[in-house]
Structure 1
Amino acid sequence: MQSEKIIKLAVLNLGLAVLEIIFFSEGLLGIQLRGGRAFETALGVTIVVLSFVIFIMGNYKLLFEKEEIINTVNLNTTADYIEALKQNKSKKLFTKDIDNILEQIDRFNNKKETIKDMLLQKFNDDELSYSKFEGTVLDIEHIFYINIKSIINKLNAFDEEDYNFIKSSEAQENYSPKFIKNKRSIYHEYISFIKDSIEDNEVILLKLDKLLLEISRFNSLEDGEIEQMGAMKEIDELIKQTKLFK
């Protein structure tokens, strides 16, 4: 049983016990099930019944229900990606990485909005120049979320309990060094992939920063000048590379 599940069980059951003490202790609320006023007796019975229902349903859910993992095929919105990442925060090995990715999503959205606002100060939204910038930002956003989708796939597949077991003294005693080495190398590939993908998204954020800086330097841009902007060239190259490897 996962330690997080044990903690939740303890909190639930201790919480119910504390509430019962508060409601029925004479020195506190002192609600009586017998011999009290009708309203007080009815309230006491209701509290007991609700406590029993919460106890049964809460413990059943924590002990037997499995949390449904979000399939990456169903990821359509930013909220979907955030929820899928948060589902994996119980995997302690990746807690900081997931926090980092969630922060990256927030930073990307802020930069995207800043670019849009800056472009609308220089162009009308029906101008070709605006459309070119907007199309480029949408393409780079697509790559950004492809990286995150790949990360979520790896997080969903990563078995942290098995990873911790293979590092334990029990595993060392029961399996050959060669087997343990091969098993650990597989898990290290997962870890390396996730960290590399996080860095790839940092590169995307850096390119957006460069694009913002270049846009801020110009009051107006002709179509030919847009293609010659250094940041646009870098982003276009990244988009081409990604399409080649898809």
Structure 2
Amino acid sequence: MNSSRLMKLLGLIAGVAVLDIVILSPGLLGVEIGGGSPLETASGVTLLVISFLVLLYGSYALLFKPPVLAPVKNMKSHEDYIAALNHYRNAKGLKKDIALALDQLDRIEKKKTTLSDVLGQRFDQAELSYKKFHSVIDAVEQLFYLNIRGILNKLSVFDASEFSTFTSEKKLTQFSNKLVQEKTALNNEYLASVTGYLGANEEILLKLDKLLLEISQLDSTDYQNIEDMPCMKEMDALIKQTKFYKQ
């Protein structure tokens, strides 16, 4: 359970406890169980039953009920993508892919922090060089998250467990070889697309590592322009290529 759900559960428990104390304390509202009128006793017992049911349902909703996923197009924050991928982390046949995607999300955040620290040490934020580096890093980061969106879009329309059921020994005997081949080819196409997005993001992470190394070597390497740095050229080409395909 993540920290957000834990805090909500603790808040729910605290809220129900405070409400019960306020209503059942003799010195406050005066509702007593067993010591007052039958109506007060019934009201007190009803309150406790309702409190128990609220806690029971709230605990289920927060501990076991899967969160409602926001549409992929509405995802904006790093946490949104993590939550969405976690929703699929136990998908049959895709566990390793989802684990890698989550690991990539963790790594890009760390690389961004490291790059920001290094740039802050070498350049003033008002310098043109600093702004050029940051603009390229931001653009490549957008490509990274576009690939994560691509993975999530595939996961939202493809059920790996359905294919696993289809290919069970008993099921295969019910269908023609042609149907089995076509179904298998479609499954492989989906898996290949997910692998492709992961590979593209791994390449982006590698380029960020190269950029970090080149920035650390600026004192010993003479570049007339930042755009002449090999890794900056690679990133710029990647950005332009992606814009071309999106048109």
Fold match, TM over 0.5? Answer: yes
Structure-2 change in CA distance of 1:67 and 1:79 (3 Å): closer
Alignment of 1:37-186 (within 5 A): 68-186=68-186
Name the residue aligned to 2:195: 195
Structure 1: how far apart are the matches of 2:220 and 2:129? 10
Task: State whether residues 129 and 221 of structure 1, in contact with CA within 8 Å, keep that contact through their aligned partners in structure 2.
Answer: no
From the superposition, tell whether residues 123 and 98 of structure 1 become closer, same or farther in structure 2 (CA, over 3 Å).
same
- Give me the whole-angstrom Cα distance separating, in 2, the residues matched to 1:59 and 1:130: 49
**What is the DSSP-based 3-state SS (H/G/I as helix, E as strand, rest coil) of the residue aligned with 2:94?**
helix
String of CA shifts for 1:5-60, please: whole Å, max 9, x gaps.
Answer: xxxxxxxxxxxxxxxxxxxxxxxxxxxxxxxx969xx9999887766667788889
1:222 Cα deviation from its structure 2 partner: 8.7
Q: Distance in 2 between matches of 1:51 and 1:76?
A: 37
Deviation of 1:238 after TM superposition, in Å, equals 0.9
Contact residue 122 and residue 220 of structure 1 kept, 8 A: no
The 1:78–1:57 alpha-carbon spacing in structure 2 relative to 1, beyond 3 Å, is closer
Residue type at the aligned position of 1:107:
R
Contact 2:223 2:229 in 1 (8 A): no
Amino acid at match of 1:117: D
Residues 50 and 173 of structure 1: CA distance in aligned 2, closer, same or farther (over 3 Å): farther
Give aligned-pair identity as a percent.
38
Does residue 232 (structure 1) correspond to residue 229 (structure 2)? The answer is: no
> Is this contact kept in 2: 1:69–1:84, CA < 8 A?
yes
2:131 and 2:151 mapped to 1: Cα distance?
Answer: 30
More helix, by proportion: 1
Q: Report the CA distance between 1:219 and its aligned residue.
A: 3.9
* CA gap 1:215/1:67 in 2 versus in 1, 3 angstroms: closer
Asked whether the equivalents of residues 91 and 160 of structure 2 are also in contact (C-alpha less than 8 Å), the reply is: yes
* C-alpha contact (below 8 Å) 1:89/1:95 kept by paired residues: yes
Contact 1:122–1:219 under 8 Å retained in 2: no
Q: Which amino acid aligns with 1:116?
A: S
Provide the secondary structure at the position in 2 that maps to 1:92.
coil
The offset of 1:218, in angstroms, is: 1.7
The structural deviation recorded for 1:118 is 0.8
Matches of 1:225 and 1:102, distance apart in 2:
36
Q: Secondary structure at the match of 1:147?
A: helix
Alpha-carbon separation, structure 2, partners of 1:77 and 1:141: 12
Which secondary structure state, in structure 1, belongs to the residue aligned with residue 126 of structure 2? coil
Pairwise CA RMSD of aligned residues?
Answer: 3.2
Judge which range, 67-76 or 46-55, deviates more.
Answer: 46-55
Matched to 1:79, the amino acid is E
Which amino acid in the other structure matches residue 119 of structure 1?
A: L
How far residue 113 of structure 1 moved from its aligned partner, in angstroms, is 1.2
- 1:113 and 1:127 map into 2 onto residues whose CA distance is 19
Tell me how far 1:169 sits from its aligned partner.
2.0
TM-score by length of 2: 0.73
